[in-house]
Chains A and B, each alone.
Chain A
């Protein structure tokens, strides 16, 4: 990360935390919702800054564009007065504060227990695959880690072809399969070397089936919810 990226990171990290604090401090429901926009939107920007553009876009689409709109709708539909205020009691404040601190402790202990040095290495390997049009960026100073473009890697991992495990790196293309004799242009060398599969015939576990099961499950939940809501209305009328 260069200085600009670091500055941006701290800026948006501050915005994330500031928004989160504002959600707790504010008493106006709609302002809370707006602070949530700030928090979730800045989180998306943090993902984008870290090169996880797919996760960042998903964060925007699902949380800011979807969930938050639902929340605001809910607030608007259930509000009794024009600008509803929420006041919590002192006991409630203490209780939620304790829960919050406990959660912070869990998160902090999880974060510190990971050996980031090792996983950094793995990520470095993963970022070397560049399937995009601008694959020349690999050779230069601007690596795809900064650029993002992780979609294809994600898609391949879904199909149990993980970039950091199942694909080989750093091997000159000559000894692998056939005769790859054409001179390797520096910019493409990494991508070309990344082609052959690992000698280990056992691939990683794919995530496609769990993903599909979860989405079908969600669909069933949606249909069920719609059905329940409709039957209620029918019995009334």
Chain B
């Protein structure tokens, strides 16, 4: 359990224990090595979803429309279709229109890509397996996601085309408005958990499906509102007004071609996975399998290997859950008709924002009302704060345990087993 492979602990590990041949590294080298390792790992997963989900999207849309989708590229199921697409796109000419503002036009795709890449920093893939386990995890992720709008607007504006400009205006208005209900709904599980640290939010839900935030009466609805807003903020249908072919050619993407165009799509699929991963961490228990298997493994084998294997299983569970949510987004895209722009804005401003405000107020009031009525803050199991595997706050622990037990001596397995027993 001590060997969490998060950024700081990896740097710390390299510094204190050292590398087999070289010996202990100094501060800056350890920091650089840790940074490179994490960027490589996150970068690999940043590139993968694009290929994987573009193929999935082709297949699923094909099946929904009673077609086969790609069948021949790379064997039986068209596995290599995304790779073929990528090669085709890279070979295309990198056009910059004559009227465009060249520098801005070339830069815009990178802003979008960097924004959705940095969003992965705080996303925990398994217990402690995040590039940075930050106390402001969710806040930073939302902040970085809000930068994507800037790239879109710049792309539209610098194209020097009316289609692109209109598309960017619509897209910007849509993304900025949907950010509000999305952030408020993301706050609901945060209030329940009492921490912004995504790793801790997921830890609080571990031990079984009954601990998941989605079963909380208000968070249940917040999950659906969040997911709707997340779909809209990824510019996915039925909210893909920016790319409404019949009205706007291709929106802010009209003038883009080749590699830069594919960068936008890389970012889109990556942020689809990012918002789904956030939904999983916030509402669906993160890496928890729902039956307490991972917690049981950690309890039975508290050594490095056992924790590692439990974390690998957790990673797979997390990826499967997030991929299911991405597939739901794909499914929605190919089954629902596109909304009109005024309907999109009405949905957000007149319905989703009031609903999310109500849900937020409800989440805040819920434990208070429960405590007043039944004397405890949750219906099933111990209060959320006691489910933490590690004592989260030494301050709180000492208040709770006046008998003098040292917070550090609370056994990891003992604390985590509390969560598995309702």
A residues with CB within 8 A of B: 2-5, 28, 30-31, 34, 37, 41, 53-54, 56-58, 60-61, 64-66, 68-69, 72-73, 76, 82-83, 130-137, 140-142, 146-152, 178-185, 187-188, 191-192, 194-195
30 A-B contacts, Cβ less than 8 Å apart?
A4-B28, A4-B32, A30-B101, A31-B101, A53-B134, A54-B136, A57-B143, A60-B144, A60-B147, A61-B139, A64-B146, A66-B146, A68-B150, A73-B172, A82-B99, A83-B160, A132-B133, A132-B135, A133-B133, A133-B199, A134-B4, A137-B8, A142-B8, A142-B12, A152-B393, A178-B404, A180-B404, A180-B406, A181-B404, A195-B395
**How many whole Å from B398's CB to the nearest CB in chain A?**
5
Contact A54 B150 (CB under 8 A): no
Q: Tell me, yes or no, whether B11 is within 8 Å of chain A by CB.
A: yes
Contact A148 B134 (CB under 8 A): yes
> What chain A residues lie within 8 Å of B409 (beta carbons)?
182-183, 185
> What chain B residues lie within 8 Å of A53 (beta carbons)?
134-136, 140
> What chain B residues lie within 8 Å of A54 (beta carbons)?
135-136, 139
> What chain B residues lie within 8 Å of A133 (beta carbons)?
128, 133, 197, 199-200, 203, 390, 392
Instruction: Report B204-241 residues with CB < 8 Å from chain A CB.
Output: none
Q: Which of B9, B27, B147 contacts A2 (CB 8 A)?
A: B27
Q: Tell me, yes or no, whether B52 is within 8 Å of chain A by CB.
A: no
Contact B136 A131 (CB under 8 A): no
**How many whole Å from A197's CB to the nearest CB in chain B?**
10
Contact A82 B160 (CB under 8 A): yes
How does the 8 Å CB contact mask read for B129-157 relative to A, with 1 for contact and 0 for none? 00001111001101110110110011001
Q: Which of A37, A65, A148, A181 contacts B135 (CB 8 A)?
A: A148
Q: Tell me, yes or no, whether B407 is within 8 Å of chain A by CB.
A: yes
Q: Which of A31, A64, A141 contacts B147 (CB 8 A)?
A: A64
Contact B394 A195 (CB under 8 A): yes
Give the most central of B11, B135, B143, B197: most A CB within 10 Å: B135
B27 closest partner in A (C-beta): A2
A73 CA / B152 CA spacing, docked (Å): 12
A188 CA / B128 CA spacing, docked (Å): 19
Contact B6 A134 (CB under 8 A): yes
A185 CA / B409 CA spacing, docked (Å): 8
Contact B398 A195 (CB under 8 A): yes
> What chain B residues lie within 8 Å of A146 (beta carbons)?
8
Q: Tell me, yes or no, whether B192 is within 8 Å of chain A by CB.
A: no
A137 CA / B133 CA spacing, docked (Å): 12
Q: Tell me, yes or no, whether B263 is within 8 Å of chain A by CB.
A: no
Contact B31 A5 (CB under 8 A): yes
A133 CA / B99 CA spacing, docked (Å): 53
> What chain A residues lie within 8 Å of B65 (beta carbons)?
none
Contact A140 B16 (CB under 8 A): yes
A37 closest partner in B (C-beta): B150
Q: Tell me, yes or no, whether B196 is within 8 Å of chain A by CB.
A: yes
> What chain B residues lie within 8 Å of A69 (beta carbons)?
146, 149-150, 153, 172, 176
**How many whole Å from B155's CB to the nearest CB in chain A?**
11
> What chain B residues lie within 8 Å of A182 (beta carbons)?
404-406, 409
> What chain B residues lie within 8 Å of A68 (beta carbons)?
150
**How many whole Å from A89's CB to the nearest CB in chain B?**
25
Given contacts A61-B143, A152-B393, A191-B407, contact A132 B32 (CB under 8 A): no
Known: A58-B143, A150-B135; 6 extra A-B contacts, CB below 8 A, are: A30-B157, A60-B147, A68-B150, A133-B133, A148-B134, A185-B406
A146 CA / B144 CA spacing, docked (Å): 21
Contact B165 A76 (CB under 8 A): yes
A28 CA / B157 CA spacing, docked (Å): 12
Give the most central of B8, B199, B405: most A CB within 10 Å: B8
Contact A131 B393 (CB under 8 A): yes
> What chain A residues lie within 8 Å of B402 (beta carbons)?
178
> What chain B residues lie within 8 Å of A5 (beta carbons)?
28, 31
Contact B140 A57 (CB under 8 A): yes
> What chain B residues lie within 8 Å of A4 (beta carbons)?
27-28, 31-32
A151 CA / B138 CA spacing, docked (Å): 12
Q: Which of B26, B31, B394 contacts A191 (CB 8 A)?
A: B394
